[in-house]
Amino acid sequence: MLSKSVLTLSDARAMAQAAEAEALANQWAVTIAIVDDGGHLLWLQRLDGAAPISAHIAPAKARTAALGRRDSKVYEDVINQGRTSFLSAPMLEGMLEGGVPVMVDGQCVGAVGVSGVKSSEDAQVARAGIAALG
């Protein structure tokens, strides 16, 4: 039997605090979502001024990154390069930059998804959150 790491509530809290700090430092109103390796929501935080739709987009980006075990931007790039049939991929709704997997010892243990500003800035906030795990 194999053993694997899992995200805890304290891990999610630490990532959310670091992501929030990055967003606030840049004056970005975003929603931050953190999911486990199955894409199940562990944390959702909508900062003041973030658009209501971002509370749906951020978890979708996180779920896509966790289930695919890669940045959600990979899927956006595939679609933008002409493979539009990929839009029919099951369970992947957030195929936009801003979802980043959390990797521990080569295994995906979850993901952070951010929505509210430019996609590259969303990804920057997500990576700042993940960096809090060390």
DSSP assignment string, 12-59: HHHHHHHHHHHHHHTT---EEEEEETT--EEEEEE-TT--TTHHHHHH
pLDDT score of 2 more than 90: no
Task: Report the percent of the chain where pLDDT is more than 90.
Answer: 93
pLDDT score of 134 more than 90: no
pLDDT score of 75 more than 90: yes
Distance, CA of 38 to CA of 54 (rounded, Å): 21
Q: Which amino acid is at 57?
A: I
Task: Report the percent of the chain where pLDDT is more than 70.
Answer: 100
Distance, CA of 132 to CA of 89 (rounded, Å): 31
Q: What is the pTM of this model?
A: 0.96
pLDDT of amino acid 22: 98
pLDDT band for 91, please (50, 70, 90 cuts): confident
Per-residue pLDDT averaged across 60-70, rounded?
97
pLDDT of amino acid 125: 98
Nearest to 64 by CA among 28, 101, 31, 30: 101
Domain range summary for the chain, segments of one domain joined by +: 9-131
| Mean pLDDT over each residue of the chain, to the nearest integer | 97
| Integer CA distances (angstroms), 20 to 14, 24, 83, 112, in order | 10, 6, 34, 12
The pair of structure tokens assigned to 59 is 């978890």
Provide the CATH number for the domain formed by 9-131 in this structure.
3.30.450.150
Please write the tens of the pLDDT for every residue from 9-64: 999 999 999 999 999 999 999 999 999 999 999 999 999 999 999 999 999 999 99
